[in-house]
């Protein structure tokens, strides 16, 4: 019976062992990526920073805009005299019609409410034409 020599650094790694190492490395990278994404979501939710809210207007008034965001959630954003409406042709906040797609740049207060800095007006959806 012939004895097989022990593995040394000069000998190639058997395929089974290499497969296990690749699998472990892949799992470690996936775990690291998942943790980094979860951590960044917490950082983005802090108050005082600008947030982009994309959605469809359900109602607009001089002091607030209500919209459904891209996830289908209802969001109310306060409007101040400093809020800028970016549209062609120029319009006031209360002139924005229901069904209009918008991107709102807003800051979040400690009470989780949003105050709009700017509202970029897009096109209306086919259902409202």
- Please check whether residue 104 is in contact with residue 118, taking contact to mean a CB–CB distance below 8 angstroms: yes
Residue 124 has pLDDT above 70, yes or no: no
Strands (E), 1-129: 50-60, 64-69, 74-78, 84-86, 100-108, 114-124
pTM of structure? 0.58
Residue ranges of domains in the chain: 50-128
Per-residue pLDDT reduced to its tens digit, 21-65 = 888 899 999 988 887 776 555 444 556 678 899 999 999 999 999
Rounded to whole angstroms, the Cα distance separating 121 from 101 reads: 6
Per-residue pLDDT reduced to its tens digit, 73-93 = 999 999 999 999 999 888 999
How far from 77 is each of 23, 46, 100, 108, CA to CA, in Å?
Answer: 47, 16, 15, 9
Per-residue pLDDT reduced to its tens digit, 1-32 = 676 666 566 666 566 667 888 888 999 999 88
The topology under which CATH files domain 50-128 is OB fold (Dihydrolipoamide Acetyltransferase, E2P) (2.40.50)
**119 vs 7, higher pLDDT:** 119
Identify the residue whose tokens are 């600008």: 50
- Determine the longest span between alpha carbons in the chain, in angstroms: 91
């Amino acid at each position: 019976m012939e004895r097989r020599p022990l593995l040394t650094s000069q000998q190639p790694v058997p395929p089974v062992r290499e497969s296990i190492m690749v699998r472990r490395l892949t799992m470690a990278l996936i775990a690291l990526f998942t943790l980094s994404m979860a951590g960044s979501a917490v950082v983005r939710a802090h108050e005082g920073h600008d947030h982009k809210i994309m959605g469809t207007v359900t109602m607009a008034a001089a002091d607030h805009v209500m919209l459904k965001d891209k996830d289908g959630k209802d969001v109310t954003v306060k409007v101040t005299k400093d809020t800028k409406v970016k549209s062609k042709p120029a319009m006031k906040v209360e002139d924005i019609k229901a069904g209009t797609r918008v991107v709102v740049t807003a800051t979040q207060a400690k009470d989780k409410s949003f105050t709009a800095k700017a509202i970029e007006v897009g096109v209306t959806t086919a259902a409202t034409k």
